[in-house]
Every structure is written in structure tokens, then in C-alpha cells.
Amino acid sequence: MTDEISGRILRIAKGSIHDGDGLRTVVFLKGCPLRCAWCASPESQDAGYSHGYGQNMTAAEVFREIAKEEIFYFHSGGGLTISGGEPLMQADFSLALIRQCKKVGINTAIETSAYGDYSAIEKLLPYLDVIYADLKLMDEQQHIEQTGVSNKTILANIRRLAGEFRGKLRVRIPLVPSINMEDEQVMAAAEFCQSLERPGFSRLDFVEFLPYHKLGVDTYRKLGREFLLGGIMPPGKEAVEKAKRAFKETAPGIKLIH
Ligand code: SF4
């Protein structure tokens, strides 16, 4: 029975306004196949228990927590967001949660790196209202250096989602100084996003810039890990504006927010 399926949870955050429309309950799952140099939640990367992070819960238990906030979803247009780590690593558990939410009319979203078999994401599509997919670097070699994996699967999955997903597809681009903020890199990302669009029909709901921040640094210390971007400061307003200009010049038809 799908309600009894267990997931490995990092934490459940209620009342979030940063992970989708309205007020949301965000279920952070453990496990991510990427190792982004700028990752702000390194405690989510390991799929197992580590340093006290992680607990097993059944889909029914997690759904009970989600349902407690129902009144807030109703008034704010919010709902459930499954985040990570990487939700596709626990696709069956994610499916059980969003199916249950859809049954009772709760809005559903996932935040994904889009790295995984398309079959994993495909089975979620009928029950999802919103997908946030990350676009980190267009150059494959740089992507491997900065995240540990190739971007080929990610780009192919986003392209396929743009054609097949009937909900809202939103692309998020982390802006990390000295990693992906050169005009040429921003323009390559914009070109890719523009290539997903079709005349008279916008396949992307919007693209969102997420300027890098240093909130996860203390967690690296707790985990006994070195934070590799220690010397890099978050981008200033000017740098973000410059990236916005480069993006807008290349993809003028795409709604950009940050
Ligand atoms: S995809 Fe997200 S959770 Fe995974 S390593 Fe990168 S930033 Fe961290």
C-alpha cells in the first residue's frame, strides 16, 4: 500500500514563502547525486543517516503533517513542495505524497536538479502543478567540475519536460560568482531557455535567478567537511543586474524574476 511506503526525510518546514506559490509545507528529502560546490544544504546530500540528520517516515505520516496546514493553503494558494536533496532519488515516495495531496486538492510542486531517469520524473507529472528545475552550467566540463556530474541528462530532461509537462515549468539558475556569472555563461543559459519556447506559446512559466548565499557554511563545519567556496562572496546588486541584462538581451521573451 503506497501510504506505507517509507521515505528518508531531512526535515519538514511549514509556512515557507520561498518554495512556490502561497504558504507551503516543504518536505526536504535526503539524498542527492550531485555535489554542487555552492550547496547550501550539504546535510541533505548523503542518502543515509549522517551526523544526526535524517529520519524515516511513512508517506501517511508525512501526509498527516502536510494536511495540518490545509487551511493556510486554501487562503494563500499554497500547498506541498518536495525538495531535497533530490526528490527523484525517492521517486516512489514522492509519488505517494503528491498523489495523496492531489486527491484532496492540495497544490503540489517539486524542486529538482532534473538529474535522474526521465521515467522517474514522468510518473510524477500527472500529479504535479509546478516543477522547479535547476540549470546550473551549460558547459558540460564546467558542470562536471562544479557539481560532480554531466549536464547532458539534465538538459535532455528539461527539454522533454518543456514539451510534455502540462503544469508550470520554472527554471532556476543559481548565480555563483566566478562559477557561472560570466556574460557568456548567462547568455548560454538564456539561449537554452529560449530554445524551449514555441511561437505563441510559452513553455516556461518563468526563469528565476537565485543569487548564491553563504547560509550553509556552518553546516559544512558540523559535518567536518571543507567548504570549497569559502573565499567567494555572494554577488552584489550590480553583478546580479549585469547577469539580468545579459539574460534579457539573449532571451527577451522569457519572464525573468529574482
Ligand atoms: S543539487 Fe541541490 S541539494 Fe544537490 S548538491 Fe546541488 S545544491 Fe545541493
Instruction: Specify the pTM.
Output: 0.96
Question: 89 CA to middle of ligand 1, Å?
Answer: 12
- Which grid coordinates belong to 234? 555572494
* Alpha carbons 116 and 166: distance in angstroms, whole number: 20
Q: What is the pLDDT of residues 71-104, one digit of tens each?
A: 999 999 999 999 999 999 999 999 999 999 999 9
Question: 134 CA to middle of ligand 1, Å?
Answer: 9
Is the Cβ atom of 250 under 6 angstroms away from ligand 1?
no
Sign for the CA dihedral angle at 161, 133, 115, 195 comes to positive
**Is the confidence at residue 239, as pLDDT, over 70?**
yes
Average pLDDT, the chain: 96
Q: How far is CA 61 from CA 44, 100, 102, in A?
A: 20, 12, 16
Identify the pLDDT of residue 211: 97
Lowest-confidence range among 14-23, 26-35, 37-46, 192-201? 192-201
* Section 52-61 average pLDDT: 96
**Is the confidence at residue 202, as pLDDT, over 90?**
no
* Alpha carbons 142 and 179: distance in angstroms, whole number: 8
